[in-house]
Amino acid sequence: MSYTYKYPRPAVSADCVVITHEAEPRVLLIKRGGEPFKDCWAIPGGFMEMNETTEQCAVRELKEETNIVISDLHQIGVYSKVDRDPRGRTVSVAYLAITDKAQDAIGQDDAAEVKWWPLTALPKMAFDHDDIMRDAVRLYQNLN
């Protein structure tokens, strides 16, 4: 299928915040293996393919980067600051997944490392992921 547009189109990505439903909740983050923000912590996510929805993209990227499979997603929001990604204009849809406990995760694809972080001790994150995380925590609290 070919596309012809009069106006430029931004890239679309999806991010998946995974938080445990424990007395001391934790969140799964990846350490980026490449630029931009190499060696910085980030929410698992990536660019949407033409044959998938943003929900499918979030699930796929989480599996590719951490080997974790989830199915129940809650939309956190849409993030579209003009300068949010130094690679170019990108709009991201962020989702929240809640799991009973921390699952075994493996850093793979472009994730150099994965780690479950306490919600009370999060690192500085890549892109605008601090904003996404703030909104994810608010949604998590409202759902629990």
pLDDT of 98 higher than 70: yes
Domains of the chain are: 11-143 (3.90.79.10)
Task: Say how far apart CA 19 and CA 8 lie, in whole Å.
Answer: 36
What is the pTM for the complete model shown? 0.93
> What confidence score (pLDDT) does residue 108 get?
87
- How confident is the model over 78-94, as a mean pLDDT? 95
- How confident is the model over 102-127, as a mean pLDDT? 93
| CA distances to 41, 115, 131 from 72, in Å | 24, 21, 22
> What confidence score (pLDDT) does residue 110 get?
86
Catalytic positions = 113
